[in-house]
Chain A
């Protein structure tokens, strides 16, 4: 298997994030009979968010399995198959649906390695769609990044673009630990939910991995550090472009994985800029923004001059357009937070 970590082969070919994800899954399935996919509507439909598009045709129903609406059953079955040595990729259609199956996720999938003293491992990928911006209301719009990252034992991956999605997915499938792969619906390149500029990128045809725990500095700057992930990487980049006209040079960091967390890249940036803005589409309290600020406070306190958090306020996500736009951090909210650190 060819592999060029960190060094993509030059390519002009652009893929949507969903195509890039599927390409990695397809390649791993072709290489390893133990890899299989199961979830609701993953076969004929190809995943509601195109996350398994075309895999049924390529691998057939035994390896691309539609399953009943029984998340406790099939996610738990994924844990069991993984412990038996297979490498299941299990889709939870919306992260919001974790509630009906959380016991399998956090009491079994996440803990069995530790509880067994590492005599058992759970090489499973739990893929799940996250995020709002399309008025799907409180039960279908959450990211829940903090919830999954908080509970020990799961690696948590949040790609922001096609290139990263492919490399991170290869790594996720090959990883011997459970990986929660959280893809933002708005980034997938769906025909019915237009993506912003950015997530569709050149993607090498060859396999490559992106190691977990390596944040990506999307834009270098000297005046302020914006740390974010997922959809909000693109919003932060837009805010940074806007701030250039005001003479503010913003550094934008895409965390890419929450567990493991690349705190060092964040700290290096904060030591340089002294001003930290953390942007998250998850709830504000007890989440990603608080964690990043705490890391900076613990290890770069002397360099910190100002801190801002931009996140979903602590309300369930409302339906009506003006209400959701109010709570989901926008480009202007990010720009204002950066200005406020000055």
Chain B
């Protein structure tokens, strides 16, 4: 059971992430009115927001240190926030600015912050093998660092996931696969495309541990993750930890969700992990004034990050040709005219 101090931290991360996604949604849609144009506005391109997913990242990352590695998929913001990624530079990246984490080259699906060992892949399940590699490095170096790969429930059908499970298990590596089950792979409900309703069952075939937290509950995630991360840190091998979350904002901004029954949207709304944790905190004697203060602090941090991002310069066009290689070959790359 997390301490009250830890509960406060988890709550603050979750409300920060929830607020962040709400504000990004507003910023994203600005400039895309009246007719939605994906390439217009202050944040162009696809935007996959994680409102409803906060409990998994906040509960898991509470057990992680900066030196532990996290890989995230195309829906990475809440995970980055809980891992301690620099929010200002991450936001600048999402706004395509020169001082962003990747100087504007990566964008929201490709966030990298080596200071806290955070990386992304926008391709489904393809963050899993690199997490296994980070765990391999930790083991070879005899550290007690661990690696955590976050993925969606749609990703558990992908070959890159299965191969990672086997490699992690056969080498007894310190890695945790956190499956965020939001019930939907874009428009495809889990029961249509995946053979098991409990993704943690995939562990059985790989002779590894698997556990599912089947409610949107950060405290339950915290407890399950304590065991999974502890097992990895102690050298006792990998775990699949599946967490039931819910999707509040569509697959990406602009997804009208015509395929999704109204009841499913309403049911998701009812499963608010942030409200659930607030209720827990009240039971522990944290009053509404303090909860409000935490929310205000989170909102202020989000506003500061967005303000920061908007003040940053855009990259110069010529910067497009930089950063292809760590050691650029001498002479022309062949690509510049």
Give me the interface of A with B, judged by CB distance under 8 Å.
40-41, 43-45, 48, 66-73, 96-97, 99-100, 133-140, 191-194, 283-285, 312-316, 318-327
Contacts and interface: CB of A to CB of B under 8 A. Distances in A.
Interface stretch (B11-19, B32-40, B211-219): B32-40
B311 interface: no
Instruction: Give the one of B107, B122, B158 with max A CB within 10 A.
Output: B107
Interface stretch (B181-189, B229-237, B285-293): B181-189
Contact of A72 (B154, B159, B333): B159
Given A48-B186, A323-B317, 20 more contacts: A40-B185, A41-B187, A41-B188, A43-B187, A43-B188, A66-B193, A67-B193, A68-B185, A69-B193, A70-B157, A100-B126, A133-B39, A134-B45, A192-B36, A314-B333, A314-B334, A318-B104, A319-B102, A319-B104, A319-B105
* Count class of interface residues, chain B: 35 or more
Contacts of A194: 35, 37
Nearest to B157: A68
Nearest to A336: B337
Interface stretch (B169-177, B271-279, B296-304, B319-327): B319-327
Interface string B131-160: 000000000000000000000001101111
B316 interface: yes
B97 A320 contact: yes
A135 B266 CA distance: 32
Contacts of A45: 186-187, 258-259
A284 B122 contact: no
B335 A135 contact: no
Contacts of B107: 135-137, 319-320
A320 B97 CA distance: 7
Interface of B: 35-39, 44-46, 93, 96-97, 100, 102, 104-107, 109-110, 121-126, 154-155, 157-160, 185-188, 192-194, 254, 258-259, 314-321, 324, 333-337
25 contacts: A41-B186, A41-B188, A45-B187, A66-B193, A69-B155, A70-B159, A100-B123, A135-B96, A137-B107, A138-B110, A139-B122, A139-B123, A140-B46, A192-B38, A285-B335, A313-B333, A313-B335, A316-B105, A319-B45, A319-B102, A319-B110, A320-B315, A321-B96, A323-B104, A323-B315
Nearest to B45: A135
A192 to B, nearest CB: 5
A129 B85 CA distance: 32
Contacts of A133: 39
B316 to A, nearest CB: 7
B110 A315 contact: no
A285 B329 CA distance: 15
A44 to B, nearest CB: 4
Q: Which of B100, B106, B124, B320 has the most CB of A within 10 A?
A: B320
Contacts of A191: 35-36
A318 B110 CA distance: 11
A284 B336 CA distance: 9
Nearest to A337: B337
A321 B95 CA distance: 10
B157 A134 contact: no
Contacts of B104: 318-320, 322-323
B326 to A, nearest CB: 14
A321 B96 CA distance: 7
Contacts of A97: 123-124
A133 B333 CA distance: 23
A43 B124 CA distance: 20
Contacts of B188: 40-41, 43-44, 66, 68
Contacts of B109: 137, 139-140
Contacts of B318: 326
A138 B45 CA distance: 11
A117 B160 CA distance: 33
Contact of A315 (B93, B97, B194, B324): B324
A320 B103 CA distance: 9
A75 B254 CA distance: 28
Nearest to B155: A69
Contact of B321 (A70, A136, A193, A315): A315
Contact of B320 (A100, A283, A327): A327
Which residue of A45, A97, A325 has the most chain B CB atoms within 10 A of its CB atom?
A45
B320 A139 contact: no
A315 B324 CA distance: 6
A321 B44 contact: yes
Contacts of A323: 96, 104-105, 315, 317, 319-320
A236 to B, nearest CB: 17
B46 A69 contact: no
B105 to A, nearest CB: 5
B149 to A, nearest CB: 15
B125 A134 contact: no
Contacts of A284: 334-335
Contacts of A48: 186
Given A66-B192, A139-B123, A285-B335, A320 B105 contact: yes
Contact of B185 (A69, A71, A321, A327): A69
B193 A315 contact: no
B335 A134 contact: no
B187 A315 contact: no
A258 B283 CA distance: 67
A67 to B, nearest CB: 7
A6 B154 CA distance: 44
A272 to B, nearest CB: 26
A331 B311 CA distance: 31
Nearest to B323: A315
A44 B155 CA distance: 20
A240 B188 CA distance: 44
B95 to A, nearest CB: 9
Given A135-B107, A137-B45, A323-B104, A313 B314 contact: no
A314 B324 contact: yes
A290 to B, nearest CB: 10
Contacts of B335: 283-285, 312-315
A324 B122 CA distance: 18
Nearest to A315: B324
